[in-house]
Chain A
Amino acid sequence: MSILYMLIPIAVLLIAGAIWFFVWSVRTGQFEDLEGPAYRILMDDDDPLIPPEARPPPRRPDDPGR
């Protein structure tokens, strides 16, 4: 049981860390927009990295692959 005398203070320190971390994220504006990021993740952001000439031909809507 005496291990708790060490573990619980460590937990308190972790909480302090978590609060600091949250305050930091608020200060850097990460909570400004609570709706957008939820959608943002659904939109692929990587295709412009592929040069246009190397891009696969446009797929057709009736393509069974989608």
Chain B
Amino acid sequence: MTSNTPLVAPDSAHCFHCGLPVPANFDYRVRILGAERAMCCHGCQAVAQAIVAGGLERFYEHRTTVSQRPEDLVPEQLRRLDLYDQPRLQEGFVEVDERHLKSASLILEGITCAACVWLSERHVRTVPGVVEFHVNYSTHRARVRWDDSRVRLSEILKAIAAIGYVAHPYDPGRQDSVYRRERQRALRRLAVAGLCSMQVMMLGWSLYAMDYDTSDVTDMRAFLRWVSALLTVPVVFYSAQTFFVAAWRELRQGRLGMDVPVSLAVILAFVASLWATVTHGPDVYYDSVTMFAFFLLTGRFLEMGARHGAGQAAEALVRLLPATATRLRDGDAQLVAVAELVPGDRVLIRPGETVPADGTVVDGRSSVDESLLTGESLPRARTLGDALVGGSTNVESPLEMRVDKVGDDTVVSAIVRLLDRAQAEKPRVALLADRVAGWFVGALLLVAVAVAAWWWPIDPTKAFYVTLSLLVVTCPCALSLATPVAVVAATGSLTRLGLLTTRGHALETLARATHMLFDKTGTLTRGELRLHGVRTLAPVTRERALAVAAALEQRSEHPVGRVLVAAGADGLVATDVTATPGEGIEGVIEGSRYRVGKPEYVAALSGVPVDLGEEPAATRVVLGDERGLIAVFVLRDELRADAKATLRRLRWLGVEVELLSGDAAGAVEHVAKELEVKSWRAGVSPAQKLERVRALQAQGAIVAMVGDGVNDAPVLAGANVSVAMGSGTQLAHASADMVILSERLENLATGVAAARKTRSIIRENLLWALLYNLVAVPLAAVGWITPWMASIGMSASSLVVVLNALRLKSIAR
């Protein structure tokens, strides 16, 4: 392992732990694996030190990607974890077993590769009192069991936080156990079909050989057939049951889907074989029945895995609202569970905390980041009497809020309800294979009846066998494999590109998409502010201006401030610093008084009026002193580098592109112009976005939606096919059919091209399956097909379909 995997080690300009650039003025170092490694922030340094101290350095040798930058956990936040020790809060997610050991399920954030699993398991198991800690790499869930008399849950959570992961308990609830049962049932069915089909194949081989044996083998043949029948029974009555149930459902709805011919083939081939076994008839098809069931169950199992993965992401929704809040009562601040809040309560929200419920500001002045809920990219100023939305983040200074609405009445709950409804009403685009199958089954049944009617007057016994061989030889194996193998091959190669498909229909629908709607913030743009330019208005250097601004903003939590701090060199120290939330910061550096912030606020210091002109889609921060303005910093949420090329390629592919954003009109228009997008809508709410999608769908369009935020979730669920950004919220992931994990937007265009190629391969496969049947049916109808011919024909036609689908493996290149 060590010799052939290169160390995932960013160069010295990037953080060894998380791979982000190291700011020029920082000098955090940790000795790892025999060398001094640069760290980008205090958080990374603390985590790396904890890892080294725990003797788990080898994590850095094993990992295959850089780690996630740890959230800076201040003592305040660590103290909040203590709340999880309260018995009342634990009721929701902790189980106690007969030995008085407690156990809980945790969602782990920050797991990026398998080495993270190793690291966290090893680290947590060293905590005294932890009896068991097991991480599931596929689902990023952990199961912890501990002895409450020796260690408390909060200590375990802190141990996890120390190595850079965020763990929060959750209630596995009903959904999880439903998934678990479904998965286990599917695995059992698969195992029964797989093991039995291997045995039946082996016996089938002897049976075929016996056809050419001249000695008397009647008894042995009968024996082998009975054993085959015995082994086929569990496959038909247990494994294939799922097809029968689905077929019955289809028939009741008056549709002929893929499950109907599958069930028909399985049942008829089995009954015919059984009949032949009892009456010593000529042919048995046990091997075909079992193999067929095994192939199809394998495809369905893979599909189910992808679907569950998507569904589980929805659980992470609990993270949106915090578990705890600081309630103010009679002047006392007291940590309580959010569930205990009632309207009328007063709540203190410190900077960096999440607003626990909907309410009104009663004291304080700050800016609040609502980007998750509205798509608005910059924090908004909130002061006395303004409304606060649960789930948004307080950025600057403490706020006191009166709770107005809790639980189901909150805006977040409303979005979730909208999402549920959109998911339930999602228009289904009829899949090609389903349509072909309906037509095929109808035709097949007609031909079978005609053949039976033709042979009946000639020879009644022969009529039975000919009809049966017809039904078996046309066994829709190739037809039903045509779509799944192509989809599995294409999704496999797209996943390697970083475009994850979570629902089976996504590719086919994407291929037919006529409109593609984009969210702006976080989707077309990076979703974070960057320093775009500096204009100096006084005789100072750019560097000096940035250094002064950085010194003033040193303690600021506002995103603008963070950008300036990262951009400026340190060395200057500001004293006498006062911040006016929503306006700016004032302070003294080297004897002169400076202000940084909004133009009006800064100009007030010198009394010199400002006129900066218009500059849409940009945030301007001004630096000034008592004599006038010094510099203008232009910050922008920059477009992704590949956004323009991607949209151009999409248009070239014939897809209509449209922009739907919750952001202000100016910013959206600017982006639209830069991307050469003609149609755009600004300031739209989640419900309006959904309406727009519905309107397009009503005109017959097949709509694809690309987004990232909570506010996009309902529209993602309502579009025919939807794509979420990998950096987006869990809720967006859960409601999307595909996820761009690589953060490269251009994969979207590749995805559309790949989807179209997949569709044409599926068409070729279906065509081939039909052609094969067109040849086989007449031959079977005149009674020329023997079982071994039917077997070879079936296998060969399936093989051609599979090989054709494998061409999609090279799609990415």
Asked if B192 is an interface residue, CB under 8 A from chain A, the answer is yes
Partner of B33, one of A12, A19, A61: A61
Q: Let me know if B139 and A33 touch, CB within 8 A.
A: yes
For window 81-136 of B, CB contacts with A under 8 Å fall at 113-115, 117-118, 122, 126, 135-136
Interface string of A24-62 (1 = CB under 8 A from B): 001100011111101110111101100010000011110
B391 to chain A, nearest CB (A): 31
In the complex, chain A residues whose CB is within 8 Å of the CB of B7: 61
Q: Let me know if B115 and A43 touch, CB within 8 A.
A: yes
Q: Let me know if A12 and B227 touch, CB within 8 A.
A: yes
**Given A27-B184, A61-B35: A19 and B195 interface contact (C-beta under 8 Å):** yes
In the complex, chain B residues whose CB is within 8 Å of the CB of A40: 114, 117-118
Q: Let me know if A59 and B34 touch, CB within 8 A.
A: yes
Q: Let me know if B195 and A43 touch, CB within 8 A.
A: no
Bound-state CA distance A5–B195 (Å) is 20
In the complex, chain B residues whose CB is within 8 Å of the CB of A33: 136-139
Q: Let me know if B114 and A36 touch, CB within 8 A.
A: yes
Bound-state CA distance A56–B605 (Å) is 65
Q: Let me know if A19 and B137 touch, CB within 8 A.
A: no
In the complex, chain A residues whose CB is within 8 Å of the CB of B135: 36
In the complex, chain A residues whose CB is within 8 Å of the CB of B180: 32
B327 to chain A, nearest CB (A): 39
Asked if B411 is an interface residue, CB under 8 A from chain A, the answer is no
A49 to chain B, nearest CB (A): 12
Count residues of chain A with CB under 8 A from any CB of chain B: 35
Bound-state CA distance A25–B118 (Å) is 23
Q: Let me know if A52 and B55 touch, CB within 8 A.
A: yes
Q: Let me know if B58 and A23 touch, CB within 8 A.
A: no
Q: Let me know if B136 and A23 touch, CB within 8 A.
A: no
In the complex, chain A residues whose CB is within 8 Å of the CB of B789: none
**Given A33-B138, A36-B135: A15 and B184 interface contact (C-beta under 8 Å):** no
In the complex, chain B residues whose CB is within 8 Å of the CB of A22: 187-188, 191, 195
Q: Let me know if A42 and B62 touch, CB within 8 A.
A: yes
Bound-state CA distance A27–B35 (Å) is 47
Interface string of B13-40 (1 = CB under 8 A from A): 0000000000000000000011100000
Bound-state CA distance A42–B115 (Å) is 10
Q: Let me know if A32 and B136 touch, CB within 8 A.
A: yes
For chain B, the bracket of interface size reads 35 or more
Asked if B231 is an interface residue, CB under 8 A from chain A, the answer is yes
Interface string of B181-225 (1 = CB under 8 A from A): 001100110011001100100010000000000000000100110
Most buried by A among B7, B35, B118, B234: B118
Q: Let me know if B137 and A35 touch, CB within 8 A.
A: yes
In the complex, chain A residues whose CB is within 8 Å of the CB of B34: 58-61
Bound-state CA distance A22–B2 (Å) is 34
Partner of A19, one of B35, B126, B191, B203: B191
Bound-state CA distance A66–B34 (Å) is 14
Asked if B230 is an interface residue, CB under 8 A from chain A, the answer is yes
B234 to chain A: closest residue by CB: A19
A34 to chain B: closest residue by CB: B138
In the complex, chain B residues whose CB is within 8 Å of the CB of A44: 58
B238 to chain A: closest residue by CB: A19
B38 to chain A, nearest CB (A): 16
Q: Let me know if A43 and B138 touch, CB within 8 A.
A: no
In the complex, chain B residues whose CB is within 8 Å of the CB of A39: 113-115, 117-118, 137
In the complex, chain B residues whose CB is within 8 Å of the CB of A66: 2-3
For window 385-412 of B, CB contacts with A under 8 Å fall at none
Asked if B1 is an interface residue, CB under 8 A from chain A, the answer is yes
In the complex, chain B residues whose CB is within 8 Å of the CB of A35: 114, 137-138
**Given A26-B184, A39-B117, A66-B2: A12 and B230 interface contact (C-beta under 8 Å):** yes
Q: Let me know if B231 and A15 touch, CB within 8 A.
A: yes
For window 470-522 of B, CB contacts with A under 8 Å fall at none
In the complex, chain B residues whose CB is within 8 Å of the CB of A12: 199, 227, 230-231
Bound-state CA distance A8–B431 (Å) is 44
Q: Let me know if A48 and B122 touch, CB within 8 A.
A: yes
B9 to chain A, nearest CB (A): 9
Bound-state CA distance A8–B223 (Å) is 10
A4 to chain B: closest residue by CB: B220
Q: Let me know if B191 and A23 touch, CB within 8 A.
A: yes
Q: Let me know if A5 and B137 touch, CB within 8 A.
A: no
Interface string of A12-24 (1 = CB under 8 A from B): 1001001100110
**Given A12-B199, A36-B137, A43-B62: A26 and B188 interface contact (C-beta under 8 Å):** yes
Bound-state CA distance A59–B57 (Å) is 12
For window 723-770 of B, CB contacts with A under 8 Å fall at none
Bound-state CA distance A52–B196 (Å) is 52
Q: Let me know if A18 and B138 touch, CB within 8 A.
A: no
In the complex, chain A residues whose CB is within 8 Å of the CB of B199: 11-12, 15
In the complex, chain A residues whose CB is within 8 Å of the CB of B234: 19
For window 159-197 of B, CB contacts with A under 8 Å fall at 180, 183-184, 187-188, 191-192, 195-196
Bound-state CA distance A1–B191 (Å) is 30
Bound-state CA distance A12–B227 (Å) is 8
In the complex, chain B residues whose CB is within 8 Å of the CB of A26: 184, 187-188, 191
Partner of B227, one of A8, A48, A61: A8
Bound-state CA distance A34–B137 (Å) is 8
In the complex, chain A residues whose CB is within 8 Å of the CB of B305: 34
**Given A36-B136, A61-B34: A43 and B191 interface contact (C-beta under 8 Å):** no
Bound-state CA distance A27–B645 (Å) is 50
Most buried by A among B62, B183, B191: B191
Q: Let me know if A18 and B188 touch, CB within 8 A.
A: no
A26 to chain B, nearest CB (A): 5
B204 to chain A, nearest CB (A): 13
A10 to chain B, nearest CB (A): 11
Q: Let me know if A42 and B122 touch, CB within 8 A.
A: no
Q: Let me know if A19 and B114 touch, CB within 8 A.
A: no
Bound-state CA distance A5–B227 (Å) is 10
B502 to chain A, nearest CB (A): 16
Q: Let me know if B33 and A42 touch, CB within 8 A.
A: no
B134 to chain A: closest residue by CB: A33
B113 to chain A: closest residue by CB: A39
Bound-state CA distance A34–B302 (Å) is 12
In the complex, chain B residues whose CB is within 8 Å of the CB of A31: 183-184, 187
Q: Let me know if B115 and A15 touch, CB within 8 A.
A: no
A-B CB contact pairs (8 Å), 24 listed = A1-B220, A4-B223, A12-B227, A12-B230, A12-B231, A15-B196, A18-B195, A26-B187, A31-B183, A32-B136, A33-B138, A33-B139, A34-B138, A34-B305, A36-B114, A36-B136, A36-B138, A39-B114, A42-B114, A43-B1, A58-B33, A61-B34, A61-B35, A66-B3
Q: A4-B223, A35-B114 provided; 15 other pairs, C-beta below 8 A?
A: A11-B199, A12-B199, A19-B234, A23-B188, A23-B191, A31-B184, A32-B180, A33-B138, A35-B138, A40-B114, A42-B114, A43-B58, A43-B62, A58-B34, A66-B2
Closest 8 interchain pairs by CB? A39-B114, A36-B137, A22-B191, A33-B136, A43-B118, A60-B34, A35-B138, A26-B187
Seen from chain B, the residues whose Cβ lies within 8 Å of a Cβ on chain A are: 1-3, 7, 33-35, 55, 57-58, 62, 113-115, 117-118, 122, 126, 135-139, 180, 183-184, 187-188, 191-192, 195-196, 199, 203, 220, 223-224, 227, 230-231, 234, 305
Seen from chain A, the residues whose Cβ lies within 8 Å of a Cβ on chain B are: 1, 4-5, 8-9, 11-12, 15, 18-19, 22-23, 26-27, 31-36, 38-40, 42-45, 47-48, 52, 58-61, 66
